[in-house]
Amino acid sequence: MAISRDAAGYLSSNKNLVGMLLAAVGPVLALAGVVAGPVGIAIGVPMYAIGALVTPTRGSPDSISTGKVDGADVLKELADVEHDVRGKVHPSVEQRVHDIAATIRDTLPRADALGPGSAQAHALVQTATDYLPEALGTYLKLPRAYAETERVSDGKTALQLLCDQLDLLGARMHDVFTAVCQSDADALVAHGRFLNEKFAPGSLDLGSAAPDTAAGPTLSPPSP
């Protein structure tokens, strides 16, 4: 039986791995004779739950605050999202998703300039791996005809509500992209000032041109 993308993601997540490690404590204690066999097996479930609960989710502030942006992971998530909506949603949604993904891809090569743990870097990763997939996943559970015609909140359809959310994400990603580019623009401005100081008129003293007297006085030609 095929495993869904969400289920496969959880199986390889830190939450599942830590939970399994803690769940193994019970059987190990039973084998060591510290506790009875049934007790060791029984405590495996609560130990797993504790491990899964206390381990931060991938992409949370705790997990990305000390490292660089994982570009490969972000690109994979974007590709999955674009694949999930292709031909399955209203064109206005697909276009918004494409624009957001394009902005994130343009930002990634410069993301290190934001600094590890910055709010912009966090927003970049979370949008690609959490906010965008979550919004679209919830929307895709609705029948398309219902999502595009039925008013569900504040007189808006689910389609309109999703577009509003995508517009917010798109504006935020544009802000992050601008912040990244601004650092390069600032460097360009600073370099221009440096060049002006070095090479502007009057900044170089090359000395005034003087007649060459090393060859001796100039003689007038003889009169005819």
Which residue would you say has higher pLDDT here, 120 or 79?
A: 79
Task: Over range 108-136, report the average pLDDT.
Answer: 86
Averaged confidence pLDDT in the chain: 77
186-223 residue pLDDT tens: 667 777 777 787 777 765 555 555 555 555 555 555 56
Domain ranges of the chain: 8-55, 62-194
Closest CA relative to residue 101, chosen from 6, 159, 177: 177
Q: What's residue 60's pLDDT? A: 40
Share of the chain above pLDDT 90, in %: 37
Q: What's residue 218's pLDDT? A: 56
27-78 residue pLDDT tens: 777 677 776 777 667 776 777 667 666 665 544 433 333 345 567 889 999 9
**Bridge partners, 157 (sequence order):** 151
Q: Is 202 left (phi over 0), alpha (psi -120 to 50) or beta?
A: left
Using an 8 Å Cβ cutoff, are 111 and 170 in contact? Answer: no
Q: What's residue 111's pLDDT? A: 78
pTM, two decimals, is 0.56
Contacts by residues 167-174 (CB-CB < 8 Å, ≥ 24 positions apart): 167/96, 169/100, 169/127, 169/131, 169/132, 169/135, 170/96, 170/99, 170/100, 170/103, 172/123, 172/127, 173/100, 173/103, 173/104, 173/107, 173/123, 173/124, 173/127, 174/103
Q: What is the DSSP string of 26-52?
A: HHHHHHTTSS-HHHHHHTHHHHHHHHH
Predicted confidence band of residue 86 (pLDDT cuts 50, 70, 90): very high
Share of the chain above pLDDT 70, in %: 65
